[in-house]
Structure 1
């Protein structure tokens, strides 16, 4: 697919994922582990069905013989799934989103250190500007509950995501090498999302007893498991073949913009001046980063033509 198609699909993935915060606020239950269990369990069921349709029975025959890289990615998904929902019940949505905003910076550092990728200056500037925009969005929210425990739990999301995107980027690089004659087959990473959802459900199930979720909550958590978790994560894994890990992480900050918009539409939460200014800065950083990429691409094409 083209780069613009990949960016559009990544934007769709963040739009789907952004519903988590506002839907969580409509739950009747406040048991963080039970909420996490049901969301992960519904996601695992949806993923099992989707991946069986896509991959067929071979999915289950090969799953337990998969290499360590798939299980590492699965553990990262499980950490992200669990930490996000637990943090949402321990502190404010704003605090969780601000904490997650450091994800692109951590991802960029991991890719630079472990994969030895040189990021262009425009991408570094975009990461810093977007992070500042997220912080500015919530600077005026003095009512935000800055729970220390909630913040520490939320920190698990950007760290696990950074490791995961780095792993997916490495697999994507191996996939390019596999195209050449004699290249080795590359591990299919889509089942890693299923592994993550199952691990998250298994880990939180004993902590969720006795189950007390109402029918109302189960409906919302079922929607979250499919729409907010399973589909966006599958899209991200697929897009890791098309986009650099720091760019995927940077685009994921759109989840904050969409999340604030959902809160405004669904709960009539007013949009403050800080929110509008910070959101504008985030979008501007993403646009400038994309324009800089296009300029670099045009320069490379001109140099190639001159050499010919």
Structure 2
């Protein structure tokens, strides 16, 4: 929980166009993150901490370069100085989640991790409502329920009871961290969160230094680690940090569920792993729920305001 003594940054008004841009950016972040499992399949390094180190280093390098290109050196340093406790909290959340993801793969299946992550929309909505009384509409709750149902169908074949409590605990930790980061980013929308996510990758790399048994990797593995850090993590974090400031926490987390939907598709296309019938059915449920919900949001935003409603003055 953020210290009540920390300064509260007022959230600027978000226009319908900005909200649409936010939705697109958060979707693109999920798209980038969805390549994680496929890229990880190519990496032959046995030490998870070595993977965490190089992935985080490449992601941090990308994010620093992105901020310097966008804001210059002085602007970048100012962003780090000004992010405050909310930015630090988001950085810790991302460091914890990205580290837990790689380590969890050594203890449990990807299916179990994805099922836990499917709870992010519900957790984010609950945290936003409980902490900040952020309103969550009925349509969003229905869509969240549909998403969780669809992902549960997809991974149900893998839930045979032979699971590691360590792996499932780490998977649950990932879901909680992403939920908290989503809520904080939305609540403190006046704060630039890109440096916070960059800080998260630095924290993860710093901790991995103390745990890794070796930093030597093959040329091919380094190429995949570069993609794992820059494409999957760095670009995804930049998109998420920018877009999540513009939309409600529940919708941001809902769009994020494209990650567990698209992930199996990339594995199928690249590694020739054919999805099961339940995966196809569950994916159809989730994608339908997302498209219907987003369509309703666009329709709501495009509807002209009536006189005397939502602040529009009446003719008299």
Does TM-score exceed 0.5, indicating one fold? Answer: yes
**How has the CA–CA distance of structure 1 residues 25 and 207 changed in structure 2, closer, same or farther, with 3 Å as cutoff?**
same
- Match of 1:195? 199
Instruction: Give the match for residue 140 of structure 1.
Output: 157
- Determine if contact 1:43/1:229 at 8 Å carries over to the other structure: yes
SS at match of 1:140: helix
Please tell me whether residue 226 in structure 1 is matched to residue 230 in structure 2: yes
Question: Is the 8 Å Cα contact of residues 121 and 250 (structure 2) preserved in structure 1?
Answer: yes
Task: Compute the displacement of 1:295 (Å).
Answer: 4.9
TM-score (norm 2): 0.87
Establish whether residue 122 from structure 1 lines up as the match of residue 139 from structure 2. yes
Q: Deviations over 1:84-110 (max 9, x none)?
A: 111122221111111111111100001
* 1:46-65 mapped onto 2 (5 Å cutoff): 46-58=62-74, 59-61=76-78, 63-64=80-81
Instruction: Indicate the residue corresponding to 1:237 in structure 2.
Output: 241
Residue 307 (1) aligns with residue 314 (2): yes
| 1:68 aligned residue (80, 85, 92) | 85
Contact 2:87/2:193 (<8 A) preserved:
yes
1:267 aligns with 2:274: no
Aligned-residue Cα RMSD (Å) equals 2.1
User: Contact (CA 8 Å) 2:57, 2:201: kept in 1 or not?
Assistant: yes
**Cα separation, 1, equivalents of 2:81 and 2:212:** 27
Maintained 8 Å contact 1:92/1:144: no
Alpha carbons 2:95, 2:204 under 8 Å: kept: yes
For 1:18, which of 16, 34, 40 is the aligned residue?
34
1:8 CA displacement: 2.8
Deviations 1:230-261 (A, max 9, x none): 11111111112321111010001001111011
| 1:94 pairs with 2:98 | no
Partner of 2:101: 84
172, 181, 184: which one aligns with 1:164:
181
The answer for unaligned runs of 5 or more in structure 2 is 1-16
Q: Give the conservation status (yes or no) of the 8 Å contact 1:30–1:89.
A: no
1:30 aligns with 2:46: yes
Unaligned 5+ residue runs, structure 1?
Answer: 176-186
> What TM-score does the superposition give when structure 1 sets the normalisation length?
0.89
In 2: Cα distance, 1:290 partner to 1:142 partner: 31
- Describe the shift of the 1:284–1:65 C-alpha distance in structure 2 as closer, same or farther (beyond 3 A): closer
Q: Deviations over 1:180-212 (max 9, x none)?
A: xxxxxxx32210011000000001111102234
Change (3 A) 1:65 1:126: closer
Q: 1:145 to 1:301 in 2, by over 3 A?
A: farther
The range that moved more, 286-295 or 155-164, is 286-295
* Cα distance change on mapping 1:29 and 1:115 into 2, 3 Å: same
The 3 A distance-change label for structure 1 pair 51 and 299 is: closer
